[in-house]
């Protein structure tokens, strides 16, 4: 191989390595940014098809598949729900983020129109259920808007809850909602990526201690709402990390291939660079052969 080709290959290798390391700080959220679980609510399968990965549709009739924010979603009528048994992989004792896209159809006259609830049940009766962590909508005097609330139960501070100072959840419109518990900054509520001002209704804003481990999780209980793309993360996510747009996060997770967009970008760049190197090498080889013929 001629010396110009060697020099060219070295330069391309340096560029490729630099691009791979530069791909990381681009600010695109990856599939592994603390995600414990992400439900698309696109399909309903029989228990035989699902096996152990079970989420149970509760109520009669059960929640229905409808058009969602991205693809399909589940519509709840205020009486039905989705039930998920808790596994160790869904437990996070410290930081947690709950988020979802919701479309409120109507406000049910109860304090907790539940979006996501992690609960602990000590017996068979519903009275033995304790709310551990969750996010819900509450009716307000304004029939067209409701409050957003979030809460967490820890082993030291027990039950703690915040609620937005203003009714910010509209009827008949898709909005993204999120509840964050950070061990350093406390509890936060967000709508469409913007933090909402909130008051403490129980406990303290920044509770100490570990989040208790629940026994089950519910979606849509006591709520007339459509829910799409609910996610649970074991990190106190920033708004830039929320699933606010139909980004690579959805595309990659739907294909069930664990490749983040930064890695995908790096792979693409490397492939293009290698192709360019091969073409340039062929050009140099051809030029060398032509030069020899002229001699």
Mean pLDDT estimate for the chain? 79
Quote the CA–CA distance of 58 and 79 in Å, as a whole number. 9
Q: Which residues contact 35 (CB under 8 A, 6 or more apart)?
A: 231, 232, 233
Quote the CA–CA distance of 88 and 71 in Å, as a whole number. 29
pLDDT bin (cut points 50, 70, 90) of residue 14 is very low
pLDDT of residue 50 exceeding 60, the answer is: no
pLDDT at position 267: 41
pLDDT at position 11: 53
The DSSP symbol for 211 reads B
Distance set, CA 127 to CA 33, 119, 120, 157 (Å) = 36, 12, 11, 22
pLDDT bin (cut points 50, 70, 90) of residue 287 is low
Are 121 and 8 part of one and the same domain? no
**Percent of the chain scored above 70 by pLDDT?**
66
61 or 196, which is more confident: 196
pLDDT bin (cut points 50, 70, 90) of residue 129 is confident
pLDDT of residue 27 exceeding 60, the answer is: no
Are 272 and 205 part of one and the same domain? no
pLDDT at position 22: 38
Q: 160: burial class by Cβ within 10 Å (0-12, 13-18, 19+)?
A: buried
Place of tokens 């027990």: 158
Are 95 and 176 part of one and the same domain? yes
Are 245 and 290 part of one and the same domain? no
Closest residue by Cα to residue 83 from 117, 112, 42, 34: 117
Are 290 and 194 part of one and the same domain? no
Closest residue by Cα to residue 82 from 114, 37, 125: 114
pLDDT at position 49: 39
Are 84 and 223 part of one and the same domain? yes
Q: Which residues contact 6 (CB under 8 A, 6 or more apart)?
A: none
pLDDT tens digits, residue range 160-209?
999 999 999 999 999 999 999 999 999 999 999 999 999 999 999 999 99
H/E stretch holding 231 reads strand 224-233
Tell me the average pLDDT across 55-76: 89
CATH number at residue 237: 2.60.120.200
Cα three-residue angle 79-178-181, rounded to 5 degrees: 110
Distance set, CA 225 to CA 80, 103, 148, 220, 266 (Å) = 11, 6, 14, 7, 40
Closest residue by Cα to residue 187 from 166, 175, 202: 202
Are 165 and 234 part of one and the same domain? yes
At 261, is the secondary structure helix, strand, or coil? helix
**Percent of the chain scored above 90 by pLDDT?**
58
Domain that holds residue 14: 3-23+260-294
pLDDT at position 123: 66
pLDDT at position 293: 45
pLDDT of residue 5 exceeding 80, the answer is: no
* Distance from the first to the final alpha carbon of the chain: 19
Quote the CA–CA distance of 149 and 98 in Å, as a whole number. 12
Are 231 and 197 part of one and the same domain? yes
Quote the CA–CA distance of 70 and 228 in Å, as a whole number. 7
pLDDT of residue 141 exceeding 90, the answer is: yes
pLDDT at position 57: 82
Count: domains in the chain: 2
pLDDT of residue 106 exceeding 50, the answer is: yes
pLDDT at position 87: 86
Are 186 and 275 part of one and the same domain? no
Quote the CA–CA distance of 150 and 128 in Å, as a whole number. 21
22 or 80, which is more confident: 80
Are 211 and 285 part of one and the same domain? no
Whether residue 61 has a cis bond before it, omega within 30° of 0: yes
Quote the CA–CA distance of 96 and 133 in Å, as a whole number. 9
Are 247 and 274 part of one and the same domain? no
pLDDT tens digits, residue range 231-282?
999 999 999 999 998 654 554 444 333 333 443 444 445 455 555 655 666 6
168 or 53, which is more confident: 168
265 or 76, which is more confident: 76
pLDDT at position 172: 96
Are 278 and 244 part of one and the same domain? no
Quote the CA–CA distance of 253 and 249 in Å, as a whole number. 6
């Amino acid at each position: 191989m001629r010396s110009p080709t060697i020099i060219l290959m070295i330069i391309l290798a340096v560029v490729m390595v630099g691009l791979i390391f530069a791909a990381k700080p681009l600010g695109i959220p990856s599939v592994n940014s603390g995600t414990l679980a992400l439900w698309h609510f696109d399909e309903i399968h029989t228990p035989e098809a699902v096996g152990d990965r079970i989420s149970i549709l509760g109520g009669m009739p059960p929640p229905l598949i409808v058009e969602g924010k991205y693809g399909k979603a589940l519509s709840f009528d205020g009486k039905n729900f989705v039930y998920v048994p808790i596994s160790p992989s869904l437990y996070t004792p410290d930081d947690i983020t709950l988020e979802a896209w919701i479309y409120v159809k109507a406000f049910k006259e109860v304090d907790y129109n539940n979006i996501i609830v992690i609960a602990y049940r000590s017996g068979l009766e519903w009275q033995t259920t304790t709310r551990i962590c969750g996010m819900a909508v509450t009716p307000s005097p304004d029939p067209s808007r409701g409050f957003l609330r979030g809460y967490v139960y820890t082993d030291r501070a027990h039950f703690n809850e915040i609620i937005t100072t203003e009714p910010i959840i509209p009827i008949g419109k898709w909005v993204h909602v999120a509840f964050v518990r950070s061990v350093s900054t406390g509890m936060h509520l967000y709508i469409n990526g913007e933090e909402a001002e909130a008051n403490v209704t129980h406990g303290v804003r920044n509770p100490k201690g570990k989040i208790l481990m629940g026994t089950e999780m519910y979606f849509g209980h006591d709520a007339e709402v459509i829910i799409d793309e609910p996610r649970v993360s074991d990190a106190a996510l920033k708004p830039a990390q929320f699933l606010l747009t139909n980004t690579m996060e959805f595309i990659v997770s739907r294909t069930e291939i664990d490749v983040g967009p930064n890695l995908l970008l790096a792979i693409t760049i490397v492939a293009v660079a290698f192709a360019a190197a091969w073409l340039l090498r062929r050009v140099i080889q051809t030029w060398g052969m032509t030069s020899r013929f002229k001699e």
